[in-house]
Structure 1
Amino acid sequence: MKYSKTLLSLLTPIQLLQASFFVLLALTLSLHAVLSSTSTLLLNQKLLLFLCTHRALVFSLLWCTLVALLAYLWTRPRPVLLLDYACFQPDADRKCSYEVCEYFVRRSRLFSTTSEEFMRGIYLKSGLGDETYAPPFIFQYDYEAKLRSAVQEASEGMIAAVDAVLYKTHVPAAAIDLLIVTCGMFTPSPSLSSLLVNHYRLPDTVATYNLSGMGCSSGAAAIDLAGRILSGTRRVRYALVVITESISLNWYFGDNRSMLVTNCIFRVGTAAALLTNDGARRRAAKMELLHALRTHHGADDASYSAAFQEEDDTGSLGISLKKDLIRVAGEGLRAHIRILAPRVLPWAQLVRYAFGEVTRWMKSGQGKQHVPDFTTAFEHMCIHTGGKAVIESVARLMRLDDRVTEPARMCLHRFGNTSSSLLFYELAYFEAKGRIRSGDRLWMLAFGTGFKVCSLVWKTLKDSGMDTDNPWKGCIHRYPLKAW
């Protein structure tokens, strides 16, 4: 079955039509030979008589079967393949250690002593290490970021990641049919997608999308968008997805504690992924997208305002992370799981989950919700690395041990919260460790402002290895850390 699906995906529509007519001709000749044969040992006499007297009906059924087969082959979704991806790693002089952070905060003289102490406590408990990366203005004497700093931060990450992924896949920029760029908090004009179109001289026919304001889930949402477009078209296409965040203009200079947290956990990061619906490139692809699910819980006021951009009492702009963010994330994840579980879990887990839900319903919703064991459905999980509290909350809710949450915890330590690109830094961790094997299933889970929960389910098509541009190269031997 697996071989037949692979073979069908390699055939063009004309070749499929030719093969279908050949099958029909073979069936017709076989039926004629059977009906003309004098040997009727294996056929019931009444059935043989019926077939002989209703040949037109039999041939009509064969033709209908052929048409149905062609319609299925023509309308079935095309495979969505991840050819490769790349993660941006800034130069070593951009590393943002605790010492760099403290020095920047003090020399800027824009924070009160109380705020300095608060940020110090948050940083020391955040799970971030001393090798995360900060935007350029942190290392300059101009303490307030300008537009040029934000553009520099976004453009250098995007161009480096796109250059790397195009080089690894041997796909020229002119072959890109679809460009999706997502950056949650920075929306210049012209857009970031236009910046890339201009830089790479993409063709006039390229379709571009620029996503913003979707928070840390926008990377998964962008992949989902690309997958929907690729699977729904009969034309072979290439989609370039660029996932970045520019935190320069979103550094908060004030004394609101809920806004100061973002200064402590968000860091620089960018990823680029090249996808295609060309079945002929399956052997060159790393993974195939099996499922994508996005749930939006913004109808609830608490969910909508859990992470909110606003001005403080003095007019300073910042991102406020409310105290009930963890609770909102947990409720959103529970609702998300109820939809995702039937699509991915094995039958044994589905039966247990259904029994648990029925039991809760009979008790009028009282009692704990049964949480299925998702480790039976996936060999690997890339969990949202929004922060130490988020990782621990997801682990507690889904009953995941340290082995499962290891990539998320180590990714937070090494790179910090890189927002929407964090899932691919986790994927790079799996590859650097050599843990991925062909046929494994991998789950990417991300949360975003609004409040959104997004899932991507992949099937790996080849064993993993250490790429030359893997961001963990040179430091993977130090991970996982014993203490975090």
Structure 2
Amino acid sequence: MSRGIPTLLLLLPLSALLLYCINSHLLMQNYDSRFVLFAFLWCGLVALLGYLSTRPRAVLLLDYACFLPDADRKCGLEVCEYFVRRTGRYSGASEDFMSSIYRKSGLGGETYVPAFIFRGETEAGLEAAREEAEEGMTLAVDQLLAKTGVPVSAVDLLVVACGMFAPSPSLASVLLRRYGLPESTAAYNLSGMGCSSGVSAVDLAARVLRGSRRRVRYALVVVTESIGPNWYFGDDRSMLVTNCIFRVGGAAVLLTNDPAKRGAARMELVRSLRTHHGADDASYRAAFQQEDEAGTTGVALRKDLIRVAGAGLRAHIRSLAPKVLPWSQLLLYTYQTLTSANWRQAAAADEDKQADDVAAVPDFRRAFEHMCVHTGGKAVIEAVGRLMRLEEEVTEAARMTLHRFGNTSSSLVLYELAYLDAKGRVKRGDRVWMLAFGTGFKVCSLVWRALRDSAMDAAGDNPWKDCIHRYPLKAW
């Protein structure tokens, strides 16, 4: 319970007494204008205190940091092909299939892979998996704390997200121990939520900050991944794709609800939204961890994943649009939806491309100046762009992030934000939309408003610092 609630409980009886006195004065025709004026001013004060004590507090993004692995971890097509052949665990057909997928994936030659690949090992054990996850977390947190100057003792809430690795003790416990966080720090560990877990973690932290007054003021959100233990060593093609597109990455975000920090903050969280289609079997199994016929574990990406993503995004848009679009666009969108028979036919169509081509879609460029679209893969970016009728310049950050870093899972939207910052494109007052997809199937959004102009970090820790001059380029 916030501190404003007990105050209201004391003031409300007094207000009721004053109203009773006013009523008595009027009935007795003993009218005193000063008394009535005082009573109305008192009630107005109570209403104002009630509003101030119950409204959600603003959630501010103080800063963020993205993990940049060492240069000796860069991996191009040749490294991937060499590792695949060295393991001796794939058929020739599977090797050719992965090579073909990689060439068409949109990934460049400077993405990063786990350290075990360069050690002569053929499989990542538990220690290698821990090392990969912890490295991304700790280096990002170190950079973030150095930039903000906030001591670890001030962190009241810790949220760690890792989509595919859940050791015990948890990764949140690893950070609690490493940084000596206070015993009062509330810690949460999210796993199994796929590429949406980073956005979901920020949403969780923001909900706690909005509902808290003085008990929780700083929230540290850390997103990482460990792809080593999830490397698939089999010949099921639906499970081989993940080997080709997922890469090492991680990020950390520091949030606060302290209004005194507004001048130092980068952005304010305006809105968040999460929707899911977990009750639908096709959506639930679109990206599914399982064993193949030989008993080898991997993540299967179904052929209808793009269709599921499109259906999930359309439903998400219907929920988000009324909250962010200007009235002119809402009226136009409503008119197009109600008067288009083709849209109704497309909504029930089986082929996602047919629905995308004719469905009414609001112009989200009127609501956001910048979009950090889910960088799940080339096909995902193209499907989102087609469904929402986005020009290439709108999806530039997503395409360039996929080329430079690959699919880093839950941290990918922050690498896109870093791209926009490195280019100096975000100006004060601009709105930024972060959109992520996750297993289950989930669609998650964060809407930010910039509080200052973006620029390359003075500390020089932007992950694009050594290559931004080469971008944008033709990724595919």
Settle same-fold status: TM greater than 0.5: yes
Instruction: Give unpaired runs (5+ residues) of structure 1.
Output: 1-11, 18-49
CA distance in 1, matches of 2:465, 2:419: 9
Q: 1:322 to 1:67 in 2, by over 3 A?
A: same
The answer for the alignment partner of 2:146 in structure 1 is 167
Alignment partner of 1:190 is 2:182: no
1:211 counterpart residue number: 190
Counterpart Cα distance in 1 of 2:239 and 2:36: 74
Corresponding residue of 1:89? 68
Asked if 1:129 corresponds to 2:108, the answer is yes
| Partners of 1:84 and 1:285 within 8 A in 2 | yes
Q: State the distance in 1 between where 2:343 and 2:207 align.
A: 38
User: 1:234 Cα shift?
Assistant: 1.1
**Could you say which residue in structure 1 is the equivalent of 2:260?**
280
Give the letter aligned to residue 477 of structure 1: H
Q: Distance in 2 between matches of 1:483 and 1:259?
A: 24
Deviations 1:387-441 (A, max 9, x none): 0000000000000011001100000000000000000000000000010111100
Partner of residue 275, structure 2: 295
2:468 aligned partner, one-letter code: I
1:257-268 matches, cutoff 5 A: 257-268=237-248
Give runs of aligned pairs for residues 324-335 of structure 1, distance below 5 A: 324-335=304-315
In the alignment, residue 84 of structure 1 is paired with which amino acid? D
Q: How does 1:234-245 map to 2 (within 5 A)?
A: 234-235=213-214, 237-245=217-225
How far apart are 1:366 and its partner, in Å?
A: 2.8
CA shift, 1:364, in A, is: 9.3
Q: Deviations over 1:247-270 (max 9, x none)?
A: 110000000000000000000000
Q: Please name the residue that 1:254 is paired with.
A: 234
**Structure 2 counterpart of 1:149:** 128
Describe how 1:62-141 pairs up with structure 2 within 5 A. 62-141=41-120
Give 1:51 deviation, angstroms. 12
1:366 counterpart SS class: helix
Alignment length (residue pairs): 439
In structure 2, what is the equivalent of residue 376 of structure 1?
A: 366
Deviation at 1:483, TM superposition (A): 4.7
Does structure 1 residue 471 correspond to structure 2 residue 450?
no
Which position in structure 2 is the counterpart of 1:223? Answer: 202
Q: Which residue of 1 aligns with 2:14?
A: none
Q: Name the CA shift for 1:434/1:51 in 2 (closer, same or farther; >3 Å).
A: farther
2:11 corresponds to which residue? none
Judged with a 3 Å threshold, the aligned counterparts in structure 2 of structure 1 residues 51 and 375 are, in CA distance, closer, same or farther, namely: farther
Kept in 2: contact 1:219–1:420 (CA 8 A): yes
Distance (Å, rounded) in 2 between the aligned partners of 1:122 and 1:188: 31
Task: Report the secondary structure of 1:422's partner residue.
Answer: helix
| Corresponding position: 1:482 with 2:474 | yes
Q: Deviations over 1:306-350 (max 9, x none)?
A: 000000000000000000000000000000000000000011101
- Compute the TM-score of the two structures, normalised by the length of structure 2: 0.90
Out of 284, 287, 290, the position equivalent to 1:304 is 284
Matched with 1:318 is: 298
Aligned-pair CA distance for 1:354: 1.4
Separation of aligned partners in 1, 2:224 and 2:402:
16
What fraction of aligned residue pairs are identical, expressed as a percent? 68
Q: Is the 8 A contact 2:313 2:443 kept in 1?
A: yes
Asked if the contact 2:403/2:475 (under 8 Å) is kept, the reply is no
The whole-number CA distance in structure 2 between the counterparts of 1:144 and 1:303 is 30
1:217-264, Cα deviation, whole Å (9 max, x unpaired): 011100000000001111151000000110110000000000000000
Is 1:388 the counterpart of 2:378 in the alignment? yes
Distance 1:97 1:234 in 2: 49
For the 8 Å contact 1:90–1:133, the answer to whether it is kept is: yes
Supply the AA of the counterpart residue of 1:176: V
419, 424, 433: which one aligns with 1:429: 419
Does the 8 Å contact 1:82/1:274 carry over to 2?
A: yes
Name structure 2 gaps, 5 residues minimum.
9-28, 347-357
Residues 80 and 140 (structure 1), Cα distance of their counterparts in 2 relative to 1, 3 Å cut: same
- Rg comparison, structure with higher value: 1
Distance between the aligned counterparts of 2:426 and 2:209, measured in 1? 25
The whole-number CA distance in structure 2 between the counterparts of 1:234 and 1:113 is 61
Could you list the runs of 4 or more consecutive aligned residues of structure 1 that deviate by over 2 angstroms after TM superposition?
Answer: 50-59, 356-360, 362-369
Task: Select the residue among 449, 452, 458 that pairs with 2:439.
Answer: 449
Contact persistence 2:342–2:359 (CA under 8 A): no
Check conservation: 2:343, 2:359, Cα contact below 8 A.
no
Confirm whether residue 57 of structure 1 aligns to residue 36 of structure 2: yes
Question: Matches of 1:442 and 1:384 in 2, distance apart?
Answer: 13
Aligned-pair CA distance for 1:145:
0.9
